[in-house]
Amino acid sequence: MTTLTVALLQLDRPEPDLTVTREAGEAACRRAAALGADIALFPEMWSNGYHSAEPIGTVYRHPELWAGHPPVAGAEGEPAWRGEPVTADSDYVAHFRALAAELGIAIALTCLERWAGAPRNTLFLTDRHGRLVLTHAKVHTCAFARPEVELTPGGSFDVATLDTAAGEVRVGAMICYDREFPESARSLMLAGAELVLTPNACDLEVNRLSQFRARSFENMLAVAMANYAGLGWGHSIAFDGMAFGPAGSRDMLVIEAGEAAGVYPAVFDLAALRSYRRRETWGNAFRRPGSYAALTAGEVAEPFLRSTHDGMPFRR
């Protein structure tokens, strides 16, 4: 086999109840397997439906823009997120690991993960044998806004070798806001990724969709993104990473969903992608890393200064 199918699980946001999300998630995975999927990809933080307990308010602004904008305070002593956090060794994750082995497909499960201190926003990738092969915690938490300030960010972009019916494929992950930074996809490409799985929880309008296309194009990566269904949301999407063919420019779009709930299979031709990556000019062959010192310098200057209402700057 040379094709790999990623089922984009564009589902209605569930209530933040582990029993509810386990049952609805299992039904979606069974549907994905019936459609021939090799991988089932959930939207962001499926275990609690991305439900927060704090108001969505701004935490960081340009220092000059705080006048007339008092900070939004969370409820004293209340957790920032609704629902119960889970761990990698929890019964909840174990259920989906067993399901992956039963169905013979990989499952990219997303959870509010219990962590030392604040919880994490995490993807657990289980292979078709039920083995946990990759854990990715969202690196670019939306630290400008509550309640994502109350998350522990991840610290790296790692890649795993996933055993599938189509053979081994090198897989990495970005979660929602991660994809808005070109360094995320670039780091995954440099680490050897061929496919990037991207759980999402926000409106996917033309700019974000175009941005995601660019991540695929500039890194010659297959990319797949699953979003929640609903009015103004939806538009789960996949691109195959091959911007040019024998006839010149081509559309990399594999599939784009509408706003309705459903399981949307994205079929990638791995052999064609690998051939394209061997002969084309993007990716890593002609980069000049010695010229990019500013990318890792870390200084922030105007107009990008941000601080809390009491003048504390954002710390990386």
pTM of the model: 0.96
Q: How far apart are CA 155 and CA 177, in angstroms?
A: 14
Q: Among the listed ranges 50-59, 112-121, 239-248, which one has the minimum average pLDDT value?
A: 50-59
Tens digits of residue pLDDT in 64-99: 999 888 777 666 667 899 999 999 999 999 999 999
Mean pLDDT of 235-250: 97
pLDDT in tens, 167-186: 999 999 999 999 999 999 99
CATH superfamily of 3-297: Carbon-nitrogen hydrolase (3.60.110.10)
* Mean pLDDT estimate for the chain: 95
Read off the pLDDT band of 201 (50, 70, 90).
Answer: very high
> Tell me: the pLDDT tens digits for 117-166?
999 999 999 999 999 999 999 999 998 888 999 999 999 999 999 999 99
Identify the band that residue 1 occupies on the pLDDT scale cut at 50, 70 and 90.
low
Sign of torsion over alpha carbons 150, 315, 185, 127: negative
Q: What pLDDT does 55 receive?
A: 82
Per-residue pLDDT band at 4 (split at 50, 70, 90): very high
| pLDDT tens sequence across 20-35 | 999 999 999 999 999 9
Q: Residue 286's pLDDT is what?
A: 96
